[in-house]
Structure 1
Amino acid sequence: MKEIKVGLIGFGTVGKGLAEVLLSQRERLVRRTGMTIRLAGIADHGTAALPERFSDIPLTQDARTLINDPDIDIIVELIGGIEPAKTFVLEAIAHGKHVITANKALLSQEGAEIFAAAAKRGVEVGFEASVGGGIPVIKALKEGLVANRILSIMGIMNGTANYILTRMTDEGMPFAEVLKDAQKLGFAEADPTYDVEGIDTAHKLAILMTMAYGMPITHHEIATEGISRIEPMDIELARELGCRIKLLAISRNHGDHVEARVHPTMVPQGHLLASINGAYNAIHFHGDTVGNVLLYGLGAGSIPTGSAVAADVVDIARNIRCHSIGRVPALSYLPEAMRPRRITPMDELCGPYYFRLTVLDQPGVLATVAGILSKYEISIESVIQKGRKKIGAVAVVIVTHSAKESAVSAALDEINRLASVTAPVVKIRILEEE
């Protein structure tokens, strides 16, 4: 029976999950592949000793010990970040080893170089765990939806942000308080910037767009806005409007140009994505032949993400056994078929908006604001005033009909300069049904 040897770089949360999965599912994987898949070495500079159940696996603090080992077939990189992860991945490829990574930041920024190097060397790159944790979203795009022109991608792709918004919605807690609690519970990192400011979601959207549309794109090209300015009042007003606030990744394929954006969105309660709560993720595709497809599951966690990495190990092991390396292009499209497309500038996009203004409770303020909106051809659908007082500031909520982003930006700049507006206007886009 053929044995496939795997070298693991990084024994953190996901690395431990992969080791657990390969150990606990060893016999099942033999029955499904006809091969023995063995974790032949672990490299982690911060680990002095492995748990007892992994004591037979060689441990080193030097990743190159595994990269240079001629007996290892597959290198799994699970340390995260750009460097030294990129160097290790490229060195493994240069040594003729197949590589697997869960590193969405690396792939969304340096993926073009990595995939080109792998194609030139004739090795596979697996990255199922880079988007959606345990959800098989990469395989769905790469194979299951291959006969489709993907018309749109939309999803909740960050469990930390979704957990925070869910707690804010269900318990009425402010953002800072929920974030602090999430950090204590391990749902949020000590530095949560990538999660709460939408950067992690943009990394994932860039990977999905590359595969769905056959185009090169990095996360730097995606308009990105986070959830840190959302307040309990916005959550409650969204409820009154029949919506829930979610951090969404949205891309639409217009042929010669594509939308690419991440931002808080008011999602109507009847929409499937409105019911995705806690640390769960959900990714929605619309294909021209299959129609609507929704993939749902845990978007993070040791064992779910370890399961996704193990799926890549099995795929590559099967290809090795059948001498079919490169049978399925890593990015679904053949490298020569990839072509750039224009990213639609945010200023050109149109849609309905929610504005929350904090204004002095004075006569004529609303008329002035309405006049500015009219000046920029922004039509008001409804107005709600909260907390009316004799003295002080009040919250005024305006919901608009579809408006152009450039007009909205110009109007809000002018409104924010009014002496009667005491805090910057909060703007949230409202999701329109396709």
Structure 2
Amino acid sequence: MAEPLRVALAGLGTVGAGVIRLVEANADLIARRAGRPIAVTVISARDRSKKRPVDLTPYTWEDDMVILGERADVDVVVELVGGADGPALSCARATMEAGKAFVTANKAMIAHHGLELAAKAEAAKVALKFEAAVAGGIPVIKGLREGAAANEIERVYGILNGTCNYILSTMEDTGRDFADVLAEAQAKGFAEADPAFDIEGTDAAHKLSILAAIAFGSKIDFLGVETSGITRLRAADIAQADALGYVIRLIGMAETQGDKLFQRVQPHLVPFDHPLAHVDGATNAVVAEGNFSGRLLFQGAGAGDGPTASAVVADLIDIARSTMGRGEIGVPFSVPVAELEAMAPADSGPRLGRAYIRFMVADRPGVLAEITAAMRDAGVSIESLIQKGRAGDAGAVMVAMVTHEGPESAVAEALRLLDGSASLTEPPLVMQLLGE
């Protein structure tokens, strides 16, 4: 059999340890499928003395991860350290400048620097792979870039953050409020000690910007993603959505509007009969709509050592095949970097849809009339309206409504008319209803 593909592994956390376990456990199967063995030869991490759940004695230790690609005993570098900049980015640049392939699970780095790194990979004629950066073990990048390559993708959207989905589905099952479920998720290890990137939507926005670039052949535009998280959701919102026939999920959505690109991460009301309504726990799911393929659904574990390690090693197998003449290195995105289109962000105002709007208001006469007058003046047609009984929030009560289909700009104008009203005890919460 051919010589092994020699892998340097930077980062020995949960996923790094998972890669080592997978490569060791499935060594024979991987070698058959790759056409050659895949062997971890060099490792690197921030803390050499830290105890880890795998035996590291067979591997050479390198203190400086940035120079891994320069070593003569390394063919490809896998980066699992994380962070948009710092050592991870330096390692990526140095690896490809040294003419070596690079594999990463680092969605933040790809979202911020993916175009630069792809250009380096193309210039050096080496592979840049990042399947594990989006949706863990789900092969959605390969599915879009290869399986759906003949299609014009009209829209891509889905549940891209397992932490948020765990919190929302647990709120749904138990009737508990956000803060309580978040604390439980942190205690169980489903949420980080600092969960801001997850619950504020940033993690999902990183992934969405990568998916959009691949789906539409556009340049990555992370800063163009309209982003809002789940921190303002209440158990009452979950209950109200259920009564209306919906569940609430944090959805990342991207689609083209002419020569512009719409990208948004926001909680949505998802109808019970939509496939995404049944995605529970820390699961991810991505829907791609092709003009010939129709709706494609990719679903599975979005994080964890096993699923993410599986995506990393699948990238390594692709690289091993390409060096054996059994495949092509290809381009990191759907087309070469020079052909990726720069698309300006699309204005969400003209988008037609239905919205759920929740108000917390002072418990006094005339408030409901004030809200409905603002809706009338802005041209918003109300489909249903519910006023809850007196709550314990300093005398505030909840008023929720669902609008008929109309432009998002009309809802924005209604909220502008209500801005500063003494009747509102907090800013309104707006969520779109996901279309069929």
Q: Structure 1-normalised TM-score? A: 0.96
What is the aligned partner in structure 1 of residue 41 from structure 2? 40
**Is the alpha carbon distance of 1:262 and 1:319 closer, same or farther for their aligned partners in structure 2, counting shifts above 3 Å?**
same
**Is the alpha carbon distance of 1:123 and 1:342 closer, same or farther for their aligned partners in structure 2, counting shifts above 3 Å?**
same
> Map of 1:185-204 to 2, 5 A cutoff?
185-204=188-207
Q: Is the 8 A contact 2:69 2:94 kept in 1?
A: yes
Partners in 1 of 2:125 and 2:321 — Cα distance?
16
Q: Which amino acid is the alignment partner of residue 270 of structure 2?
A: V
Equivalent in 91, 94, 98 of residue 97 of structure 2: 94
Equivalent in 152, 155, 162 of residue 152 of structure 1: 155
Q: Which amino acid is the alignment partner of residue 307 of structure 2?
A: P
What is the aligned partner in structure 2 of residue 333 from structure 1? 335
Listed one character per residue, the Cα deviations across residues 308-345 of structure 1 (whole Å, up to 9, x for unaligned) are 0000000001101118653x222121334321223212
Partners in 2 of 1:325 and 1:428 — Cα distance?
43
> Map of 1:47-66 to 2, 5 A cutoff?
47-48=48-49, 53-66=55-68
What is the aligned partner in structure 1 of residue 412 from structure 2? 409
Q: Unpaired segments of 5 or more residues in structure 2?
A: none
Partners in 2 of 1:5 and 1:275 — Cα distance?
41
Q: Is the 8 A contact 2:104 2:133 kept in 1?
A: yes
Q: Which amino acid is the alignment partner of residue 413 of structure 2?
A: A
Q: Is the 8 A contact 2:159 2:250 kept in 1?
A: yes
**Is the alpha carbon distance of 1:245 and 1:27 closer, same or farther for their aligned partners in structure 2, counting shifts above 3 Å?**
same
Q: Unpaired segments of 5 or more residues in structure 1?
A: none
Equivalent in 235, 238, 241 of residue 235 of structure 1: 238
Q: Is the 8 A contact 2:253 2:264 kept in 1?
A: yes
Q: Shift of the alpha carbon at 1:142?
A: 1.3
Equivalent in 346, 361, 364 of residue 362 of structure 1: 364
Q: Is the 8 A contact 2:66 2:90 kept in 1?
A: no
Q: Does 1:261 align with 2:264?
A: yes
Q: Shift of the alpha carbon at 1:52?
A: 5.8
Q: Does 1:184 align with 2:208?
A: no
Q: Secondary structure at the match of 1:306?
A: helix
Q: Secondary structure at the match of 1:421?
A: coil
Q: Secondary structure at the match of 1:308?
A: helix
Q: Shift of the alpha carbon at 1:288?
A: 0.6
Q: Which amino acid is the alignment partner of residue 406 of structure 1?
A: S
Q: Is the 8 A contact 1:45 1:60 kept in 2?
A: no
Q: Is the 8 A contact 1:203 1:218 kept in 2?
A: no
Q: Does 1:310 align with 2:313?
A: yes
> Map of 1:51-130 to 2, 5 A cutoff?
53-81=55-83, 82-130=85-133
Partners in 2 of 1:234 and 1:358 — Cα distance?
11
Further displaced range: 146-155 or 250-259 = 250-259
Q: Is the 8 A contact 2:357 2:429 kept in 1?
A: yes
Q: Secondary structure at the match of 2:22?
A: helix
Question: Between the two proteins, what is the percent identity of the paired residues?
Answer: 41
| Deviation >4 Å, runs of 4+ | 49-52
Q: Which amino acid is the alignment partner of residue 331 of structure 2?
A: P
Q: Shift of the alpha carbon at 1:388?
A: 4.7
Q: Shift of the alpha carbon at 1:74?
A: 0.3
Q: Secondary structure at the match of 1:229?
A: coil
Q: Secondary structure at the match of 1:96?
A: coil
What is the aligned partner in structure 2 of residue 385 from structure 1? 387
Partners in 1 of 2:315 and 2:54 — Cα distance?
26
Q: Shift of the alpha carbon at 1:377?
A: 0.6
Q: Which amino acid is the alignment partner of residue 376 of structure 1?
A: A
Q: Is the 8 A contact 2:115 2:220 kept in 1?
A: no
Q: Which amino acid is the alignment partner of residue 56 of structure 1?
A: P
Q: Shift of the alpha carbon at 1:402?
A: 2.1
Q: Which amino acid is the alignment partner of residue 382 of structure 1?
A: S
**Is the alpha carbon distance of 1:24 and 1:337 closer, same or farther for their aligned partners in structure 2, counting shifts above 3 Å?**
same
What is the aligned partner in structure 2 of residue 18 from structure 1? 19
Partners in 2 of 1:398 and 1:341 — Cα distance?
34
> Map of 1:210-359 to 2, 5 A cutoff?
210-322=213-325, 326=329, 328-359=330-361
Q: Is the 8 A contact 1:416 1:423 kept in 2?
A: no
Partners in 1 of 2:339 and 2:29 — Cα distance?
37
Q: Secondary structure at the match of 1:21?
A: helix
Q: Secondary structure at the match of 2:427?
A: strand
Partners in 2 of 1:208 and 1:415 — Cα distance?
36
Q: Is the 8 A contact 2:89 2:109 kept in 1?
A: yes
Listed one character per residue, the Cα deviations across residues 24-47 of structure 1 (whole Å, up to 9, x for unaligned) are 110111222231111011001213
Further displaced range: 91-100 or 214-223 = 214-223
Q: Which amino acid is the alignment partner of residue 34 of structure 2?
A: T
Partners in 1 of 2:5 and 2:266 — Cα distance?
43
Further displaced range: 91-100 or 337-346 = 337-346
**Is the alpha carbon distance of 1:52 and 1:246 closer, same or farther for their aligned partners in structure 2, counting shifts above 3 Å?**
closer
Q: Is the 8 A contact 2:118 2:331 kept in 1?
A: no
Further displaced range: 338-347 or 367-376 = 338-347
Q: Cα RMSD between the aligned structures?
A: 1.7
Listed one character per residue, the Cα deviations across residues 409-433 of structure 1 (whole Å, up to 9, x for unaligned) are 2321332422222222222211122
Partners in 1 of 2:73 and 2:327 — Cα distance?
20
**Is the alpha carbon distance of 1:324 and 1:31 closer, same or farther for their aligned partners in structure 2, counting shifts above 3 Å?**
closer
Q: Secondary structure at the match of 2:428?
A: strand
Q: Which amino acid is the alignment partner of residue 77 of structure 1?
A: E
Partners in 1 of 2:432 and 2:422 — Cα distance?
25
What is the aligned partner in structure 2 of residue 5 from structure 1? 6
